[in-house]
Amino acid sequence: MDLTDYRNRIDAIDSELVRLFRERMDITADIASYKAKNGIPTYDPKREREKRTAIAELVGPELANYTDALFTLIFELSRSYQRKLFPGESELKDKILRAIENTEPLFPARPLVACQGVEGAYSQQACQKLFPAASIMYFNSFEGVFSAIENGLCRYGVLPLENSTAGSVNKIYDLMMKYDFSIVRSTRLKVDHCLLARRGAHIEGIKEIFSHEQAIAQCGDFLKSLGGVRITPCENTAEAARLVFESGRNDAAALSSRACAEIYSLDCLRESVQDRGSNFTRFICISKKLEIYPGADKTSVMMVLPHKPGSLYMVLSRFFALGINLIKLESRPLPNTDFEFMFYFDLETSVYSDEFTQLFSDIEGMCMSMKYLGSYSETV
């Protein structure tokens, strides 16, 4: 036999597998109907364990792991198909539908918004991009913004989530686990860092540079080129500019924005000192109330999954099966646990699609806990 003969045999087997799979799913539909009529849960863990054990004995030890992975996926597809045919009650689905119905058709233009930092911070620039005429209340920390939303002090809060050069803002993900909120919109801001100093200062005389840790990470190559300069982290880049202005020192500088040079009467000693020219930061807009505005095509969700092999794979397989694009996956350790993790997902799918409804119907039962963070669109 040559390769073509082997492939012909594989094709014949695959055709038979497809016929049997179709037959199996038809019977699955009959089972789903019976369970729905008699109030029997879709998932029967005892039955699945027995089936997996029996299949492993049939195939033998050499292929046991492979067939276990195959039939675990088949069982999951069967459950998904049953839930599609008979969706049943879903508290999350009802919550999302109410939010869509009760949210105003237009995104507000003049709300009170919480931002971390001071005048000139990148968060303020992101806020103005989202809300052309917002009133801004500044807070010293990211947690201050979350707290302002939770306590009803501000309707919205704007926070940095990730940077294309330095990666995720881990503090934000940790605070997401602590507070209840919803993401209602996001935006991307091009970040150009400048080296700012008091008027009359020269780059050769700079001995200390202030900035936020993210900006420091984004300008690593430039800072190394200066050699021997002390790097001092502070709350944000605008605060760094303010510190330099108030210090009276000509040997201190800040990594900050061009806007802060104008606000704090500083000279720009060097422009665009970030390591990459295409340096963008993504910001999210959060609210206490779940609001889903027209055109929402992104969704964020946090999950804690069972600590066993394949649990993350099973969730990811649902995205693939439904044709949903996963645009971000982040993990953060859970506080007060023995190396257990929370997974953060950003999904690209319309909140109005059947695939969206089917996805959350499928994954709710896969998680130890799940936190739906909202569906929204991104302002370009």
- Two tokens at 215? 């900006």
pLDDT in tens, 246-272: 999 999 999 999 999 999 999 999 999
Burial of 12 (0-12, 13-18, 19+ CB in 10 A): exposed
Mean pLDDT (the chain, rounded): 92
- Residue 307's pLDDT is 84
Same fold, 3-85 and 194-270: no
- Residue 163's pLDDT is 87
- Two tokens at 180? 């209840």
Instruction: Tell which CATH architecture fits domain 91-190+280-379.
Output: 3-Layer(aba) Sandwich (3.40)
Q: To 10 degrees, what angle do helices 64-85 and 311-321 make?
A: 50
Indicate the pairing of strand 230-233 with strand 267-270: unpaired
Q: Radius of gyration over alpha carbons of the chain, in Å?
A: 27
Annotated active-site residue in 245, 283, 319, 345? 283
Query: Do 260 and 120 form a contact (C-beta atoms < 8 A)?
Result: yes
- Residue 366's pLDDT is 83
Mean pLDDT (whole number) for 273-300: 93
Active site residue 281: yes
What ranges do the domains of the chain cover?
3-85, 91-190+280-379, 194-270
pLDDT in tens, 311-356: 898 899 889 888 899 999 999 888 877 778 899 999 999 999 988 9
Burial of 158 (0-12, 13-18, 19+ CB in 10 A): buried
Confidence bin at 373 (pLDDT 50/70/90) = very high
Confidence bin at 72 (pLDDT 50/70/90) = confident
pLDDT in tens, 95-124: 999 999 999 999 998 999 999 988 888 999
Helices (H) and strands (E) in the chain, counts: 13, 15
pLDDT in tens, 203-247: 999 999 999 998 999 999 999 999 889 999 998 899 999 999 999
Q: Does domain 3-85 have CATH number 1.20.59.10?
A: yes
DSSP 293-339: -TT--EEEEEEE--SSTTHHHHHHHHHHHTT-EEEEEEEEEPTTSSS
Report the candidate in 269, 275, 261, 173 with the shortest Cα–Cα distance to residue 217: 275
| Strand partners of residue 329 | 345
- Residue 276's pLDDT is 86
Confidence bin at 91 (pLDDT 50/70/90) = confident
Report the candidate in 270, 259, 227, 263 with the shortest Cα–Cα distance to residue 246: 263
Long-range contacts (CB closer than 8 Å, 24 or more residues apart) made by 334-341: 334/177, 334/304, 335/174, 335/177, 340/304, 340/307, 341/304
- Residue 108's pLDDT is 92
Q: Which CATH superfamily is domain 194-270 in?
A: Periplasmic binding protein-like II (3.40.190.10)
Confidence bin at 83 (pLDDT 50/70/90) = confident
Q: How far apart are the C-alpha atoms of 208 and 205, rounded to whole Å?
A: 9
Q: Is the pLDDT confidence value at 190 over 80?
A: yes
Annotated active-site residue in 42, 187, 281, 299? 281
Q: Could you count the other beta carbons within 10 Å of the beta carbon of residue 121?
A: 29
* Percentage of the chain lying above the pLDDT 70 cut: 100
Which residue type occupies 362?
Answer: D
pTM of the model as a whole: 0.83
